[in-house]
Amino acid sequence: MQRNDFGNLGKVSRLTLGGGGIGQVWGETTREEGIATIKMAIDEGIDVLDAAPGYNVCEALIGEAFNGQLPEHVKVTTKYGFAAAPGEEAYARFRASLEDSLKAMRLDRVDLLFLHNEIRPDDGVAPDGHSHFTRWSVYRDHVIPAFERLMDDGLIGGWGLTGVAKTPQILDALGTVPAPHAVQAVANLLDSPGGLVVEDEQPRQREIIAMAQRNGIGVMGIRAVQAGALTRSFDRDVPEGNRDLPDYRKAAPFRALCAEWSEDPAVIAHRYALGIEGVDTLVLGVKNRAELKDALDAEAAGPLDREQMQAIEDLGLRPKVNRAA
């Protein structure tokens, strides 16, 4: 498997095994299949595991898979949503969540800890009932020092941001010193974060990726198949009102194009995402070995050729960006 430079954290595999699939976020699977999928990923050359407490049993499965004896070359990430908590509590809350994650995974440290929520401007107004965000001043004055302290503690090798909403704040964070070591950014042919956001925004995901690349910050591409919207069909119940459902309907021309090519839309979507410049490693949401094999085949086949990429772009599925917005 191809390996890429990942910011200042060394080389990593082109694919990362995400924890959402094996943690049963993206449809049903079993603990046994989850563990088998983790082991297959490592055997096939994947050397990054992207976990989170919110991915149900994912962290426990990593612990069970290796019983604390993780191969030395494998990197592990996890996350914490600090949200609207008082800034003075940042270190204690991050550390408490991290210690729980380490216990579940039977590890002494992780390579990256991500702030897993939005950063909003101090004077910004959030939708009613939405509190899963951190104000900019709290991020700057409390979250960054908490991350740096956890590095000094030897519990994390670096830290990062989930960069899917409020692009101006993400771009500011990528240019602030100290900057994050990595950012998770949406990388799909719709440029859509789907249900990860609560408000519609200008689709500036590629601007985030480009700035991270310029600043030497590692980029983990996420949502290659946009939560199933870029597959043949959802493998879970998606009710009306779900923010991923409009993307599935919008992608009908893409599925038709894949049918003309006699190709699986999920494989083509992964190959498209692998061709986005600046994405160092692509996070997979697979939940079993069959889905993992398809993603591995996509990586082995490499990015789509120029004509295929252009045919997808000609569908007009990516919104035009107004950079003045």
Say if 320 falls within a structural domain: no
| pLDDT the model gives residue 325 | 45
> Largest Cα–Cα distance in the chain?
57
Alpha-carbon distance of 24 to 272, in angstroms, equals: 25
Say if 266 falls within a structural domain: yes
Taking 70 as the threshold, does the pLDDT of residue 324 lie above it?
no
Which helix (H) or strand (E) segment holds residue 161: the answer is strand 159-162
Which helix (H) or strand (E) segment holds residue 308: the answer is helix 306-313
Say if 151 falls within a structural domain: yes
Say if 121 falls within a structural domain: yes
Query: Which amino acid belongs to residue 213?
Result: Q
Alpha-carbon distance of 233 to 113, in angstroms, equals: 32
| Among 195, 180, 184, residue whose Cα is nearest residue 226 | 195
Q: CATH number for the domain including 244?
A: 3.20.20.100
Say if 324 falls within a structural domain: no
258 and 189 Cβ atoms separated by less than 8 Å: no
- Domains contained in the chain, number: 1
Say if 175 falls within a structural domain: yes
Please state, rounded to an integer, the average pLDDT across all residues of the chain.
94
Q: For residue range 111-157, list pLDDT tens digits in order.
A: 999 999 999 999 988 888 788 899 999 999 999 999 999 999 999 99
Say if 322 falls within a structural domain: no
Say if 321 falls within a structural domain: no
Q: For residue range 268-316, list pLDDT tens digits in order.
A: 999 999 999 999 999 999 999 999 999 999 999 999 999 999 999 999 9
| pLDDT the model gives residue 323 | 53
Alpha-carbon distance of 97 to 119, in angstroms, equals: 19
Containing domain of residue 129, as a range? 3-313
